[in-house]
Amino acid sequence: MKTIIISSRKGGAGKTTLSLNLSAHAAQQGKRRVALLDSDPQGSSLFWASLRDKDYPVVRKVGSRDISLDLAELEDEGYDFVFIDMPPTDKKWVKDALAHADLVLIPTKASPLDIHSASNTLEWAAEAGSKVTWVINGASVLSKTPDIVFDQLKATAAVCRTIVHERNDFVISVGLGKSVNEFSPHSKAAAEIDALWREVQRLANRG
C-alpha cells in the first residue's frame, strides 16, 4: 500500500482539490482499491464525497487518533493507495502523519509568499525522512510560471513537472461530486490530473 499525503500549512493551496481529483482518478484506473482520508476539521473532502454518486474512492474521516492505526486497518483491508487530505495547521498530528508517507505532495501557487508560507511543511517532511515534492497549482493560463519562482522551488526540493493551472473545471466538478476526469474527460484539467498521477506513481514507487 502506498500512502500519499497532500499537505501545506498555507490555506487554499489546493490540498483538497488535488486529493480528491488524484484519488478519484487513481480509483478509476484499473482495479485499484483507493481510500481518501480527510483529516481536516473543515471536512471538505467529506463534503465532496457526500455529493458523489460513486462508491470510490472510499472517503473516511481521520484525525482523532494516531494515523498509523487507520493506515494499518486500510492495509489489512487490501487498499493499494491511500491519499490523506491534510488541514492547513501546524498541529503535532500533521507532523506525526508526515512520517507515514511514501510521498508528500506540497501544492503551492507559484509565488514567493506562498512558497515561504509552505516551507515549514517541507522542513517537517524532510525531518520525518519522507520523500517530498512540490506541485505548482493554480497557475495562470495566461502567463508562464516565472523561471525565478521555479528555480526558487527547485533549490529546496523536487518539483513535479506537471503544472496544474487555474481552470473552471476544477471548481465546477467539485460541486457536482465529480473529479475533473469524470466531469470533462477530454479537458485540459483532466489531462493535467492524468499527467500528475503518472508522475506521483513513479515518485511513490521509487525506492
Q: Which is nearer to Mg ion, 38 or 102 (CB)?
A: 38
C-alpha closest to that of 150 among 102, 109, 103, 104: 109
CA distances from 103 to 5, 31, 53, 62, 205 (A): 6, 22, 29, 19, 9
Binding pattern to Mg ion, positions 32-71, x when CB under 5 A?
------------x---------------------------
Tell me the three cell numbers of residue 68: 498509523
Q: Which is nearer to Mg ion, 3 or 45 (CB)?
A: 45
- Segment 32-61, which members bind ligand ATP (CB under 6 A)? 40, 42, 44
Write down the least CB distance from residue 35 to Mg ion, Å: 17
Stretch that binds ligand ATP, among 14-22, 57-65, 124-132, 143-151 (CB under 6 A): 14-22
Q: Which is nearer to ligand ATP, 98 or 174 (CB)?
A: 174
**Exactly one of 11, 112, 146, 185 binds ligand ATP (CB under 6 A); which one?**
11
Torsion region of 63: left, alpha or beta (phi above 0 gives left; psi -120 to 50 gives alpha): left
Count the site residues for ligand ATP by CB under 6 A. 19
- Segment 110-149, which members bind ligand ATP (CB under 6 A)? 137-138
- Segment 7-36, which members bind Mg ion (CB under 5 A)? 15-16
Chain residues in the site for ligand ATP (CB under 6 A): 11-17, 40, 42, 44, 88, 137-138, 164, 166-167, 170-171, 174
Chain residues in the site for Mg ion (CB under 5 A): 15-16, 44
